[in-house]
Structure formats: structure tokens, C-alpha cells
Structure 1
Amino acid sequence: MSTVVFVSGFTSYIALHIVKKLLAKNYKVVGSGRSHEKCQQYTDIINNPLFSFVVVPELSADNAFDDVFQQHQDIKFVVHVASPLVPIIEDPEKEALIPAINGTTSVLKAAHKYGPHVKRVVITSSYVAHCAPSDHYGGSDLVITEESWSSITYEQSLQPNIAYWGSKKFAEKAAWDFLENEKPQFSLATYAPTLVFGPQAYDEVAKQGPVSTLGIISSVLKKDYSAEKMLFGDFSDVRDVSEGHIRAFELESAAGHRFLLGNGRVSVGRIVEIVRKHFPELELPATEVIPDDKLGVASTNCEETLTVLGQKDLISLEQGVVDSVKQMLDVGVY
């Protein structure tokens, strides 16, 4: 009998890669999404009898995930990816902070109450839970590690432009607090990617257009380099990120760890340089490529993550950008 893994927010960029890898390894996967229509659409794309879904319409509800664990009491591992990412935030607390925090605690409560066989919960955190915006943009000599915590306060997080940074920190904090206070039957690990690049998991999904940071690559293809004034930092490839999530529950030694993945620097100039090299027919105009050591933002050291999870031969930015552009061209979204 296949081991059952629950993946929340399964229609998202990272989660679809996790689902695809799990199914390739013969796990039985239960996913959650917010609408039946979208869940069914993506289930048809996944097209695997080992996959099923449960609709969870409201992340911030206290009992949001109860039905998942009541219907599937054989769930052994949980990967909680779902988190609000609102393009334009009008009410930071209502639209970002509360859904992220309550969504995390509600999945933990449900797994504790109705998931007798749950052994490990892995939560998708973020680099921004490890580093505040003031430190990131003002910390050219600052190195962020797995142990780092963002210094952002809840009050600061009520500003629309940095609400996401706060939502990821306080959602992860809530998870560790739950573990300490409730002492559930499962262990916990968190996995925080930096800026994520790489192709989408399924071409049929890619046809719907770019998501997340892939929008930066799409803008570059349209010769719009406006993001080059703000996009600086470390990157991770979505295929490495999804693999890391799986290892975070497969390996006993991963319990209790905060994982962080960064694999070098990224900037719009670097992306343009890569696309110009590999796709000269697109005739992109050149732009300044700022040297990595001149980017003026914090960097990461993820040695503990790579050691504990045994992640080697990480996918380079060049490969991730090339694969992303090739997919966009192949499916006709550019």
C-alpha cells in the first residue's frame, strides 16, 4: 500500500512540483485547493490515479483542514505549502497575516486531532522569514543562515508593501509555538527557498501563463527590464526546492530543522545575460550586469541544509532560466 502524503495548496508553483515528484515515487497524494473547479482542472492535468483532492475554501478558518484528515486518516506526511500571496494588498492583516498564521495553525490542529498516523509535517517557509526587508536591502555584508530569524515586527507587517515578509515569519513562528505548546504526535521541519526560478511542473499549466518569479523572466522576454532596480538576492530552483521538501519528511534526521536554500546570486541583468546567450534570436537589448559582490543585499549560507538533506548538484540559475524560457516558448505564452 502506498504511503499517503497531504499537500496543501497543490495548484501552486512549488506544490505542483512536489506533487509530481511524489507521484513519480509512488506516493499516494491528497491535495487541497480553494475551489472545486480549479482543483478538478489541475487534477485532470496531473492525470494519476494516486492523486485526489479535497476543497479547503478558507485558509483562515479554525477548522479549515478538519475534513482533510477526517476523510483521509491514513495520511502519514503533511507538506503545507498553501499561503496567501496577494498581488495588491489593501488590508495586510486580513489578506496576508491572519490567513497565513491561521492556515498554518489550522492544518497542525487538524493533523493533531484527526491524523493519528501523521509522522512529520513540513511547512513551506521563505527566506523572508529569516531576514527582514531592512536587513536584506541594507545588508550587503549580512549572511543569512538556517538559524536566522527576521527582525520584522507584527506592527511593521501591517504595511502593505512588506506584509508578505511578516506573514511568512509569523506563520512559521506559530508552527514552532504549536509544536512546543501542544506536543503533537508528529515532528516538524520548515523549508525556506530564496527567489524561486525554473520551469513549471506541467506544460498544460505553463500554457496559462507565468506565475510567481517566472513573471520576471516573462517581463525580460518582453524587453521590460523595470524590475532590475529592485530584484536582487539569492535564487533557488523549484526542482531543488521540491526535492528538499520531500527529503525533509523522508529523512529521520530532518526533524526539528529549519531549512533554507540559496544557490548563488540573481539579478535581472544576469537573467538578461543568460537569455541573450542562449536565445540570440530573441534579440534582447543588453543591460548592466552588476557583479555579485556589488548587489548590495544580504546573501545566504545553506551548508546545514545541504548537509542534513544531502542535496548536491543543485541546478544553476543558468539552467533554470534556460529551461523556463524554453518552456514558455514551447507552450506559446511568449
Structure 2
Amino acid sequence: MSHNTVLLTGGTGSLGASILAQLISKGHSVTAVIRSIKKSASFLTKQYASQVNSGQLKLVEVPDMTVPHAFDDLVKTVDAIIHVATPLADSDFQRTIINATLAINENIFAASLKAPSVKRIIITGSIVSTMNLPDTLFRPITVSADDYSTITNEQGLSSLPAAYQYAKTSSEKKAWEFIKTTKPSFDLVVLLAPAITGKCIQEGFAPSKTALGGMAEIYQNVFDVETPGLVFPFVMDVEDVASIHVKSLDLKVPGNERYLFHSSHPQDSAEVAKKIREEYPQLRNRVPEVGEDRAESPVKVKVDTSKSDRVFGGPWKDWWESAKDTVDDIIKFEK
């Protein structure tokens, strides 16, 4: 794969930080969009000092990506865009998450239409855009990249996870509508990422029981509870998810496609709890014991990853090795 010049959003987040590291290591030139130079530049310039000095990594401040024309100047010299950033907030979900997600996408597409150099846009979508949660999890069906959630705007206002799901689903549908009607010179790849586990290299990372995602789900549903709670079963290590993003830069990867993927073994909270108690005896007072007579997991749905498997290969990191990295982070950052 030749070296690309990539515009990256969300490079200071958990997934984005791993994508940035892999882009740099593979020789790509990166323009990283960050919300605050004051907050993030010192860490990134220290982490990637030689790349910043050589011009391989450029840091550009965009405080509000929802502002029209926010990307117009930034895309003029890039040939690919990896859009990872997802706005999240605790209130006013319509404005801060749903509308904002759509506005950022629209700004990226509008800018790219005026930038002949752009050949591909890669968007971090979500596996939840293929499901109606939680009902789909408990049905004996197979979900594929051809499926879409039917969540409504009204349902999306009920909670943060619902707002995230609706924002991801509705903005993706709009993106495909744009591609169909506009027929731009660039193509689109949407990566329907599962819940993400593993080691976080994000600046200022701290474990949280209220955040979204696979890392937080382990912390919330396995630690300091009487019985393990239900965790989203389809997961992948953060480094593997990042790798799929970087591989998607290769134009040999078919464009104008959705790709659905996860590591081969669905994650079960009781299984996580059992493994933690076995390998981390110091945590037995915080992680509940699970008896051999425990009820079978209620999750029945299966996910068809055959298209992604053909295109991106593998193998992917073992689910427990990835979960262990999350546990290690929890132990490390709680201190």
C-alpha cells in the first residue's frame, strides 16, 4: 500500500489515538484535527516529536466541527479522510449528539466535493446501526452488513446509548443517500465497529463506569456488582479496529461498502468475571463469583462477518487477552 496523506478526526480519543499511532508507524502523513491545541498539542508533540518536526504529522485546531465550512481548507491537500470523532454529551441529545453527528458528516462531504485530491472517506460507524437494541440480541437470527436499525428519533432521545445509536444510524443513512445522489469522485467506506476493548493509549485516559463502549462495560458490569450484568457481546481489540481503519486506505479494499466485524468469540460478562477471579486474585473481593450452574447467556443473535473476513483477514486478538488489557488499565488508572 502506498503512503497516503490523511485527515484524521478524533485522534485524541481512545480509538483515534491507536489509529494515529498506526498511521504514523506505516509512514502515512497525517493532519490531525483536534478541538483544542492548548489541551492536546503538548502531549502529541512530545509523543510524535520527530514526525511533527518533519511535517509528517500536522495538528490543526477545529473547536467546533459542526460549523459550516470547518473542513474546507483542511481537505485540499489530502487524499483520504478517516472520520472517527463522535460528539457525546450528557444532555440535549438532539442538539449535542444527533444533529451534531449529522452536521459534521455533511461538512466533511461538502468540503470533499471541492477537493479533487480526496479519493476515499472512511467513517467509523457502529455495529449497533444494524440492530434494534436490546431486542435483536435475544433473537436467534443472523445480522449482516445489509441490515439497519429501525430506531426512531424519538427513541433516540431516551438515553445516551440510544442517542448514540440513532445518531450513528441516521447519519450513516444520510451519507449513503449523499453518495447515491451526488455520485462524487471519492468513495465511502463505513466500518461498523463493535464494542472496543483492550489497552487505551489515549492521553488522560481514566476508567469510567458511565462512558460508552466495551472498556466501560467491563468496568460497569463486572466490577463491584453482586451479579455480572449484561455486556454487549460483540467486541474487538482497539488495535485490531484501528488496523482495519488503516487497511481501508488501500483502494484495493472495495469502496462504497459497509463492513461489519468483531473478534470470533462473543464476550460474556460471567465468563469475564470468572477469568478475572482466576488470574487476578487481588480482585476477588470486587468481582462476583460465578457458579457452574449459572444461567446460559440470553444472547442468541449471530453476526455475519464474512465480507470483512475476506477483505481484512485476521486473525484478531483473543477476546480475553484484549479484556485483560482493559482490566490492567482499570487497575493502573484507579491508583
**Shorter-chain TM-score: what band?**
0.7 to 0.9
- Answer yes or no: is the 8 Å Cα contact 2:156–2:163 preserved in 1: yes
Partner of 1:143: 142
Instruction: Provide the alpha-carbon RMSD of the alignment.
Output: 2.6
* Distance verdict in 2 for CA 1:65–1:226, change over 3 Å: farther
User: Quick one: which of 66, 70, 79 aligns to 1:60?
Assistant: 66
Could you tell me the TM-score, scaled by structure 2's length? 0.86
Partner of 2:315: 313
Unmatched 5+ stretches in structure 1: none
Q: CA deviation at 1:293?
A: 6.4
1:62-102 Cα distance to aligned partner (Å, 9 max, x none): 22222322xxx32111101111122x2x3221121101111
* Distance verdict in 2 for CA 1:100–1:92, change over 3 Å: same
1:95-154 Cα distance to aligned partner (Å, 9 max, x none): 2110111111111111221x22111110000011111225434x4312211111111123
Give the SS at the match of 1:179. Answer: helix
1:231-285 Cα distance to aligned partner (Å, 9 max, x none): 2321111111111111122142321110111223123222222222222233344
- Answer yes or no: is the 8 Å Cα contact 1:81–1:124 preserved in 2: yes
Partner of 1:216: 217
- Answer yes or no: is the 8 Å Cα contact 2:214–2:235 preserved in 1: no
**In structure 2, what residue type is equivalent to 1:152?**
I
Give the SS at the match of 2:79. Answer: strand
Q: CA deviation at 1:165?
A: 1.0
The reply to whether residue 81 of structure 1 matches residue 80 of structure 2 is no
* Distance verdict in 2 for CA 1:199–1:226, change over 3 Å: farther
Partner of 2:192: 192
Give the SS at the match of 2:253. Answer: helix
Partner of 1:10: 11
- Answer yes or no: is the 8 Å Cα contact 1:39–1:53 preserved in 2: no
Give the SS at the match of 1:325. Answer: helix
Q: Distance in 2 between matches of 1:287 and 1:294?
A: 13
Q: CA deviation at 1:36?
A: 2.1
Partner of 1:104: 105
Q: Distance in 2 between matches of 1:157 and 1:39?
A: 31
**Aligned counterparts, 1:147-166, within 5 A:** 147-161=146-160, 162-166=162-166
Q: Distance in 2 between matches of 1:293 and 1:268?
A: 11
* Distance verdict in 2 for CA 1:165–1:323, change over 3 Å: same
**In structure 2, what residue type is equivalent to 1:40?**
A
How many residues of Structure 1 are paired with residues of Structure 2 in the alignment? 322
Q: Report the more deviating stretch, 249-258 or 123-132.
A: 249-258
**Aligned counterparts, 1:277-296, within 5 A:** 277-283=278-284, 284-287=287-290, 294-296=297-299
Q: CA deviation at 1:227?
A: 8.7
Unmatched 5+ stretches in structure 2: none
Identity among equivalent pairs (%): 22
Partner of 1:116: 116
Q: Distance in 2 between matches of 1:325 and 1:235?
A: 15
4+ aligned runs moved over 6 Å, structure 1: 289-293
